[in-house]
Chain A
């Protein structure tokens, strides 16, 4: 290793972007695996265009990843502004500026082929973008990525990404041998020639970086004996579905949920299960419900538009008390909205989307690790309470990667066979316990239990009935189960002190960013805490007591709310963030919200700025970069 002495840092954020199809995603995966194997904690976020191959060399074509790597083993969110960006062209670079995700003093590594390209328009825009970045304070390192790659292969598209990851390996002072092993693993299904070319180019990138880069960073890894896994939330859901003992996932393709079914499709048959791709979203839940009715609780995975189509079946599951689990990997809405980007805007739909009063359980994982465990919880609740359980994941969890402790699969519970023992003739299909609403489910094949399961209102006998008393009774019993479940829940724990000036309340994937923002604020002496809600229906106990300790309460969530400053917005017509609506109704407290729809995860610094604003001591800060610099200066 030659070159300058590396600067040691606790953490860094690097983004790798290219045109779609040029392989920045693959380069990022290799780099993330390298960091993970080295022992760095990390969180990655995919940067994905909505089309497969949008017009190249445009802002809309940018594809790649953001990687936050740290000395500590737990990284809980995608972090603030990126410190380094490696771009295959200037438009991909510009796209990250437009997305507001780069620090002003970002270190830019960029392919210099455009400076002298035959296409004069590219030359011009390259100069313009580079000048823009320089003016903002960026450090530009122009690298002959194309030319160097062409020294090893005839088509630079077939390997420039590996050259790029070699560069990063040098920049971050990592072991190139370890990188080359990672690459062999990633390409294990390719031909030997492809693998060796990739390995060679990574080596070339590393050598070039070692010889030419004036910057070197060292994010030291803390060695640990605890085995870790690195995966995205959809993979975690898929493995979690297997571990939870599901035998069927019935689905219809929809972004960003589908990759969970890809993973499941490739392994499920080895575990005695299968993925059924139905003819539409409605059939997908219908088949799952049929399987559940027949005794084997099934799973369906979808996203917002699919949730909308599934609402009538949701009502049926509630009315017939058929256990069922729906995973909604939320994306930007309404309608087709932002298919590849995050939003937490299906909460009210999950709660109230089905017509009539349809009480159901709604839970939300807040980390990728929780995506693995949550389906076991969901299935258990669905079966014990004969309820529909909706799991709200989101695009951030779905496509981000996090490093977490390897689950102990030896603890996987045995899957008991179906209990088809006879019941006395005339056994009641809805033998509701009057206090809890719980009842034993009868399963086809059980002698003595014959009867119809109907979508009509029914009594304990399962018989259709239309009178007021028995309609009220059915509603009571279905609703009572939520109260029974609520009684078994623990109050959520508060992050920070139990009393203070401000409490942030969050749900889902924003947890890491919220808690990091709270830590930043507390380090600045602000009396801020946060609480994160996993059970959205029923809400956990103890919220009133927790809320009582704080002067102000706001939710922080990635969905729409009107701003107080917006035209026409008044106390009477303001629309709040979705969790805020629920909490206001449940607590009668004047809970405010910080709810936006940026189509990307919150940066901790944004929430920190909001904390400052709410607490009224905002020191006139204009940009997130300034906030960060002010904080760094203070440290």
Chain B
């Protein structure tokens, strides 16, 4: 039975075949209070909910605190090099499109050193869940300014305060051709985080999710002291991220049509309050790996040899 067929059977039975423990590997070594723990748990829940065999999932990361995530998730994982998770993930998807792929990066990893790959990955629209765990600082290297560090904040490389306005990653991705899924959530909103990752999982194409989370060691006061005083607005739509009534204590809800790219671009540009939820979704953009697979033939050995002979004939001198 193929993996997919097996999945269908289990899904129709409505029974979860795995426990959360099946997706747990070694004990995480992140700091206490770090939002990375919550993202890991949310991912484990979404894998369980989708009845995925641990061996059929690949998680790919770059370098940074959050990029340790594949070490703690019991699937196949690739902990790569700084900024380059997306090319590796693209290679996995191109060669093995049957394997679901999760990409985990930090803000410096994705928006700075990996910036070129980030832009082009959006355009490739590979089918993958792409999570950026954005704590607005380089933490693993001990507090340097990141592209999203708030204006004027002091870090070890900007001891007198940052010089530039922070980058707005949402408006960047909303400007890219082929953008198909953009959402924002925060680790201090665990239910919203869960729902967002689930939505991202269900999307066919590149699901870009920016997850706001403070670094408890180097930037404890970021995001209005971990969300307590951070102005947000929840984007509301019947197909959007559900807004639990308890969330409304954190900020108001606002009707938002995530299918309208102009409306999505307007929402993406606004940073105060920060839009939370599904900013944009277009399910009709084909994934790059599927375009490439649909256009290549899969010849049997005899045909392969015969075609190689034909190719050689063009250079043959008789």
Chain A residues proximal to chain B, CB less than 8 Å: 33, 36-37, 227-231, 235, 239, 242-243, 247-248, 250, 267-274, 276, 278-280, 282-296, 298, 312-313, 315-316, 320, 403, 406-407, 409-410, 412, 414-415, 444-456, 463-464
B312–A414 touching, CB < 8 Å: no
The chain A residue sitting closest to B26, CB to CB, is A463
Q: Does B244 contact A (CB under 8 A)?
A: no
CB-CB under 8 A for A444 and B76, given A229-B316, A230-B317, A289-B91: yes
A278–B87 touching, CB < 8 Å: yes
Chain A residues within an 8 Å CB radius of B55: 444-450
B296–A239 touching, CB < 8 Å: no
Task: Encode contact with A along B84-97: 1 for CB under 8 Å, 0 otherwise.
Answer: 10111111111110
B84–A242 touching, CB < 8 Å: no
Stretch in contact with the other chain, from B35-43, B274-282, B300-308: B300-308
Stretch in contact with the other chain, from B67-75, B175-183, B202-210, B257-265: B67-75
Chain A residues within an 8 Å CB radius of B86: 283, 286
CB-CB under 8 A for A455 and B80, given A242-B308, A287-B87, A449-B55: yes
CB-CB under 8 A for A295 and B96, given A407-B312, A455-B79: yes
A448 CA to B54 CA, complexed, in Å: 9
Q: Does B60 contact A (CB under 8 A)?
A: yes
* B30, chain A: closest CB distance, angstroms: 14
* B258, chain A: closest CB distance, angstroms: 27
Contact partner, B298, options A272, A290, A312, Cβ 8 Å: A272
Chain B residues within an 8 Å CB radius of A463: 26
Q: Does B120 contact A (CB under 8 A)?
A: yes
Q: Does B160 contact A (CB under 8 A)?
A: no
* B133, chain A: closest CB distance, angstroms: 17
* A416, chain B: closest CB distance, angstroms: 11
Q: Does B295 contact A (CB under 8 A)?
A: yes
Contact partner, B318, options A37, A269, A274, A289, Cβ 8 Å: A37
**Could you name 29 residue pairs across A and B whose Cβ atoms are closer than 8 Å?**
A37-B317, A227-B316, A227-B318, A228-B317, A229-B316, A239-B311, A239-B312, A267-B307, A270-B299, A271-B297, A290-B88, A290-B92, A290-B95, A291-B92, A293-B78, A293-B92, A294-B91, A294-B92, A294-B95, A298-B91, A312-B81, A403-B317, A444-B55, A445-B55, A450-B54, A452-B79, A454-B70, A455-B80, A464-B71
Classify the interface of chain A: helix, strand, loop or mixed: mixed
* A175, chain B: closest CB distance, angstroms: 14
A444–B312 touching, CB < 8 Å: no
The chain B residue sitting closest to A272, CB to CB, is B298
A455–B76 touching, CB < 8 Å: no
B296–A274 touching, CB < 8 Å: yes
Contact partner, B95, options A228, A239, A291, Cβ 8 Å: A291
Best-surrounded residue of A228, A247, A406, A456 (most CB of chain B within 10 A): A406
Chain B residues within an 8 Å CB radius of A290: 60, 78, 87-95
A272–B299 touching, CB < 8 Å: yes
Chain B residues proximal to chain A, CB less than 8 Å: 3, 25-26, 53-56, 58, 60, 63, 70-71, 74-81, 84, 86-96, 98-99, 116-117, 119-120, 292, 295-299, 301, 304-305, 307-309, 311-312, 315-318
* A326, chain B: closest CB distance, angstroms: 14
CB-CB under 8 A for A283 and B92, given A242-B311, A313-B81: no
Chain B residues within an 8 Å CB radius of A271: 297, 299, 304, 307-308
Chain A residues within an 8 Å CB radius of B90: 276, 283, 286-287, 290
Interchain residue pairs A-B with the least CB separation, the first 3: A290-B91, A286-B87, A291-B95
A37 CA to B70 CA, complexed, in Å: 59
A445 CA to B77 CA, complexed, in Å: 11
* A327, chain B: closest CB distance, angstroms: 17
Known: A229-B317, A271-B307. 13 other contacts (CB 8 A): A33-B317, A228-B316, A230-B315, A231-B315, A248-B91, A287-B88, A289-B87, A294-B96, A313-B84, A410-B309, A451-B77, A454-B71, A456-B79
The chain B residue sitting closest to A267, CB to CB, is B311
The chain B residue sitting closest to A285, CB to CB, is B87
* A71, chain B: closest CB distance, angstroms: 16
* A456, chain B: closest CB distance, angstroms: 7
Chain B residues within an 8 Å CB radius of A453: 76-79
Chain B residues within an 8 Å CB radius of A451: 25, 76-77
Best-surrounded residue of B86, B89, B315, B316 (most CB of chain A within 10 A): B315
B311–A294 touching, CB < 8 Å: no
The chain B residue sitting closest to A283, CB to CB, is B87
* B66, chain A: closest CB distance, angstroms: 14
Contact partner, B120, options A230, A279, A449, A450, Cβ 8 Å: A279
Contact partner, B116, options A279, A415, A448, Cβ 8 Å: A279
Chain A residues within an 8 Å CB radius of B292: 274, 276
B91–A452 touching, CB < 8 Å: no
The chain B residue sitting closest to A401, CB to CB, is B315
Chain B residues within an 8 Å CB radius of A287: 87-88, 90-91, 94
B116–A280 touching, CB < 8 Å: yes
Chain A residues within an 8 Å CB radius of B298: 272
A186 CA to B205 CA, complexed, in Å: 43
Chain B residues within an 8 Å CB radius of A295: 95-96
Contact partner, A406, options B76, B80, B295, B312, Cβ 8 Å: B312
Chain A residues within an 8 Å CB radius of B87: 278, 282-287, 289-290
The chain A residue sitting closest to B292, CB to CB, is A274
The chain A residue sitting closest to B62, CB to CB, is A455
A306 CA to B124 CA, complexed, in Å: 22
A291 CA to B94 CA, complexed, in Å: 7
A273 CA to B315 CA, complexed, in Å: 21
